[in-house]
Amino acid sequence: MGLQHKKKFGLMDYFRSPIQRNAILTAFAFLAIPMLVYLIFVVFPIFQAAYFSLYKWNGLGSLTDFRGIDNFTKIFTDPIFGKAIINNFKIVFLSLIFQIPLSLMIALVIARRFKGAVIFRTIFFLPYILSEVIAGTIWSFVYNPQIGIQNTVLADWIPWLANFQFLGHQDTVFASIFVVLIWKYFGLHMVILIAGMQSIPVEVEEAAYIDGVNKWQLNWHIILPLLKPTILLSIFFSIVGSFQTFDIIWAMGRGDPVNGAETMVTYMYKYGFQRFQLGFGSAVAVVIFMITIGVSLLYQKFTAEKES
């Protein structure tokens, strides 16, 4: 009997034993406030977003106007949201073909600790620590048609550029802002990739050189495959970050003209918040959330397959 009793050490027994009771009480005391903060400001609002998204609601009074999936139909039939989501995917796509390769090339060079490597790293990483608002405002000045760079430098060679407003045309505004995104974030990816390279043992490289491998072969056949997890991580950051893009767009013309640089988050802010359509805005949030979760799951599946 006594043995049997010992085997069944259930939840209630935790409370009977004074040591266990103490552990639970301490854990509770230590976790209560963090948990509360997390529940109130992260978990609860996410669920609320899902709930609000089914209503038409201006943020005042109570939720009564239930609309089912109307908000979502409205989102997916709105050509402006179409523009926004395409812009988000353009940021992802262009980052993959321009930003990551650029960062990778620089990282490959800088990881070889030559004279001045640290200075270059310091300089390339510098834009990352500035806020997007500051970066955006500086570049609005650089692109300014009267005093900016194209009027004083480029216009001498390409006359039609004189007084051309890069941020004032729906066809050029997106590309112009994308240049700023590269400027601001290539240093971050470079630093992540360098960290990945430094975790590759020196012996691997030495062995390769002894086998008579040249630098190009070393980078292409040895370093790159070993660096794959880090590159995937960099890509993941770049994708998740691009779905959140707001500040820099806002600082460089608020997604206009003609929604040329609209993103999903600026769309949510303009059409959900500024116009007090909180139900509709929450529906946009849910769409962004679904896309982000989808990408994260894909990433996890992809990296898990690589590892096994």
Partner 1 sequence: MIVDGNKTAKSIQYTLLIALAVLTLLPMLLALVGGFKNLAQLRLDLFGWPDPFLWENYVDVLHPKRSRFFLSLFNSMLIMSTTVMLGVILSSFAGFALSRIKFPGRELIFNFFLVGLLFPPAVAILPLYVQLKSMYLLDNYFGVILPQVAFALPMQIMLVRSFFKQIPMELEESATIDGCTQLQFLVRIVIPLSKPVLTTIAILAMVGSWNSYFLPLLILNSEKYFTLPMGVMSFASQYVYNWPLVLAYITLAMVPAVIFYMLAQKYIIEGLTSGAVKQ
Site for partner 1 in 118-157 (CB under 8 A): 120-127, 129-134, 137-142, 144, 146-149, 152-153
Instruction: State how far the Cα of 231 lies from the Cα of 234, in Å rounded to an integer.
Output: 5
**Stretch 254-273 residues interacting with partner 1 (CB under 8 A):** 265, 268-269, 272-273
Least distance from partner 1 to the Cβ atom of residue 133, Å? 4
Mapping DSSP to helix (H, G, I), strand (E, B) and coil, where does residue 99 land?
helix
Output 165 or 292, the one with its CB closest to partner 1. 292
Of 72, 89, 164, 289, which lies in the binding site for partner 1, with binding defined by CB under 8 A? Answer: 289
Site for partner 1 in 47-76 (CB under 8 A): 48-49, 52, 59
Phi and psi at residue 146, to the nearest 5°: -85, -45
Q: Determine contact, residues 218/208, Cβ cutoff 8 Å.
A: yes
Chain-centroid distance, C-alpha 263: 13
Which 84-123 positions form the footprint of partner 1 (CB under 8 A)? Answer: 106, 109, 111-114, 116, 120-123
Least separation in angstroms between residue 279's CB and partner 1 is: 9
Angle between helix axes 117-129 and 173-198 (nearest 10 degrees) is 130
1, 72, 78: which is closest to 281 by C-alpha?
A: 72
Is the CB of 251 or the CB of 261 nearer to partner 1?
251
Q: How far apart are CA 11 and CA 92, in angstroms?
A: 49
- H-helix or E-strand spanning residue 11: helix 11-16
The least distance separating partner 1 from the CB of residue 172, rounded to whole angstroms, comes to: 18
- What's the closest the beta carbon of residue 31 comes to partner 1, in angstroms? 5
Q: Are the CB atoms for 200 and 108 separated by under 8 Å?
A: no
Is the Cβ of residue 1 or residue 50 nearer to partner 1 in the bound state? 50
> In the set 250, 259, 261, 270, which binds partner 1 (CB under 8 A)?
250
Q: Count residues contacting partner 1 (CB under 8 A)?
A: 96
Q: How far apart are CA 249 and CA 174, in angstroms?
A: 9
Would you count residue 37 as binding partner 1 (CB under 8 A)?
A: yes
Q: What are the angstrom distances between the C-alpha of 33 and each of 21, 36, 37, 42, 47?
A: 19, 5, 6, 14, 20
Which one, 1 or 190, has the nearer CB to partner 1? 190
The answer to whether residue 3 forms part of the interface with partner 1 (CB under 8 A) is no
Restricting to residues 170-189, which ones interact with partner 1 according to CB under 8 A?
183, 187-188
* 194-213 residues near partner 1, rule: CB under 8 A: 195-196, 202, 205-206, 209
Q: Which amino acid is at 176?
A: S
Question: Which residue is listed with tokens 């990352």?
Answer: 128
Block residue for tokens 């729906």: 170
Minimal distance, residue 23 CB to partner 1, in Å: 5
Considering only 17, 163, 170, 296, the residue that binds partner 1 (CB under 8 A) is: 296
Q: Which is nearer to partner 1, 3 or 147 (CB)?
A: 147
